[in-house]
């Protein structure tokens, strides 16, 4: 699965979990203008006769264009590698510049944001027509969130891309896997994510759910500023729907994931900076497997480039 640390969204969760910022306000000093993507994949096949390799390259293309209205993010336009627009997401705010809603171009998928009396983000409700509803409820210890409870109600159809954008991939993968055996017209699942902090960075998220489901993600960081702090986003099941990469002050350089069956995976990321801000993120994905004595190795290097407003 392609996983890149990039700032791309169908839904926006503007939660600034840094003491100097206000919940719901996403107004970074360095504002993203464009996000470009490129990748190179080298495949090697080894059998008794030797090794054969071939390489495929996707040249750089503008994947996202961000439009700002003074201090708030007005919209994000998404494009494919041919330059064609396939989605536009627009955001709305209250008189305090806190996000209160987001919707896609067709208006059939939307998110609503509710704040409590302490001016902290209390819940997010995401709907996709009549098929899916996702509700996230956030509990705090002081100024930082320590628990996020996600309740998903869905019909026997795959969760929409919009609904997927507000829950971590390991949660919606578990939900969709259950659809094979589910018989009811509507299914409800609940997951609880316990968050552990080290200063202003999340270092561990433990998610538990139905049928003894348990999933653990651990993070390590560099000391540079994360331009994504305050954004909760996802696109094409990428890593950016993970809490640590979204809420933390610094950039993730290592991510370790442990599944219910005990399997562990590890991912590492490299950054190029202009001053304190990242301008490129490089992630290498290696997939190795063997079928009937033939060994396969697919190595893909993903590069995401950020351009900021002047």
> Could you tell me the two tokens for 81?
């590698």
Q: Does 19 map to a domain?
A: no
Q: How far is CA 6 from CA 12, 66, 76, 163, 215, in A?
A: 14, 13, 13, 19, 23
> Would you state the pLDDT for residue 44?
95
> Taking the mean position of all CA atoms in its chain, how far away is CA 217?
13
> Could you tell me the two tokens for 204?
């561990």
Q: Does 296 map to a domain?
A: yes
Give the DSSP H or E segment for 89. Answer: strand 85-93
Percent of the chain with pLDDT over 90: 25
Q: Is 293 strand, coil or helix?
A: coil
Structural domain of 170: 32-308
> Would you state the pLDDT for residue 17?
32
Q: Does 6 map to a domain?
A: no
Q: Does 9 map to a domain?
A: no
> Would you state the pLDDT for residue 176?
62
Q: Which residues contact 305 (CB under 8 A, 6 or more apart)?
A: 35, 36, 37, 38, 60, 279, 280
> Would you state the pLDDT for residue 178?
60
Q: Does 23 map to a domain?
A: no
Q: Which residues of the chain have pLDDT under 70?
A: 1-24, 129-131, 155-185, 228-246
pTM of the model as a whole: 0.73
Give the DSSP H or E segment for 178. Answer: helix 169-178
Separation of alpha carbons 51 and 169, rounded Å: 35
> Would you state the pLDDT for residue 99?
83
Q: Does 95 map to a domain?
A: yes
> E-strand spans in 210-276?
213-225, 250-258, 264-274
Separation of alpha carbons 293 and 193, rounded Å: 41
Phi, psi for residue 178 in degrees, rounded to 5? -75, -15
Q: Which residues contact 182 (CB under 8 A, 6 or more apart)?
A: 156
> Would you state the pLDDT for residue 188?
82
State the DSSP string of 163-174. HHTTS-HHHHHH
Separation of alpha carbons 171 and 275, rounded Å: 36
> Could you tell me the two tokens for 148?
């996020």
> Would you state the pLDDT for residue 303?
94
Q: Does 18 map to a domain?
A: no
Q: Domain of 253: which CATH number?
A: 2.40.160
List, in sequence order, every residue forming a beta bridge with 194; answer none if it has no partner.
147, 206
> Would you state the pLDDT for residue 185?
58
Domain count across the chain = 1
Q: Is 239 strand, coil or helix?
A: helix
Q: Which residues contact 271 (CB under 8 A, 6 or more apart)?
A: 222, 224, 251, 253, 278, 280, 281, 282
């Amino acid at each position: 699965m392609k996983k890149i640390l990039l700032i791309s969204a169908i839904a926006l969760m503007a939660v600034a979990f840094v003491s100097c910022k206000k919940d719901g306000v996403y107004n970074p000093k360095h504002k993203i203008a464009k996000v470009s993507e490129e990748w190179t994949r080298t495949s090697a096949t080894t059998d008794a006769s030797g090794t054969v390799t071939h390489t495929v390259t996707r040249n750089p293309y503008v994947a996202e264009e961000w439009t700002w209205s003074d201090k708030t993010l007005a919209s994000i336009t998404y494009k494919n590698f041919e330059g064609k627009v396939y989605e536009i997401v627009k955001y709305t705010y209250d008189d305090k510049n806190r996000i209160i809603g987001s919707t896609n171009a067709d208006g059939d998928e939307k998110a609503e944001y509710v704040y409590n009396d302490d001016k902290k983000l209390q819940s997010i409700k995401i709907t996709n027509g009549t098929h899916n509803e996702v509700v996230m409820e956030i509990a705090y210890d002081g100024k930082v969130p320590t628990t996020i409870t996600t309740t998903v109600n869905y019909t026997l159809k795959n969760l929409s891309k919009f609904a997927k954008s507000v829950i971590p991939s390991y949660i919606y993968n578990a939900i969709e896997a259950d659809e094979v055996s589910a018989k009811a017209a509507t299914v409800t699942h609940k997951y609880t994510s316990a968050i552990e902090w080290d200063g202003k960075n999340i270092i561990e998220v433990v998610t538990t759910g139905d049928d003894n489901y348990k999933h653990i993600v651990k993070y390590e960081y560099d000391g540079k500023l994360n331009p994504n702090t305050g954004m909760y986003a996802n696109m094409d099941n990428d890593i950016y729907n993970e809490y640590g990469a979204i809420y933390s002050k610094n950039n993730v350089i290592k991510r370790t994931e442990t599944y219910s069956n005990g399997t562990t995976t590890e991912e590492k990321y490299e950054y190029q900076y202009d001053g304190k801000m990242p301008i490129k993120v490089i992630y290498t994905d290696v997939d190795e497997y063997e079928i009937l004595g033939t060994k396969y190795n697919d190595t893909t290097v993903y590069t995401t480039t950020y351009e900021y407003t002047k």
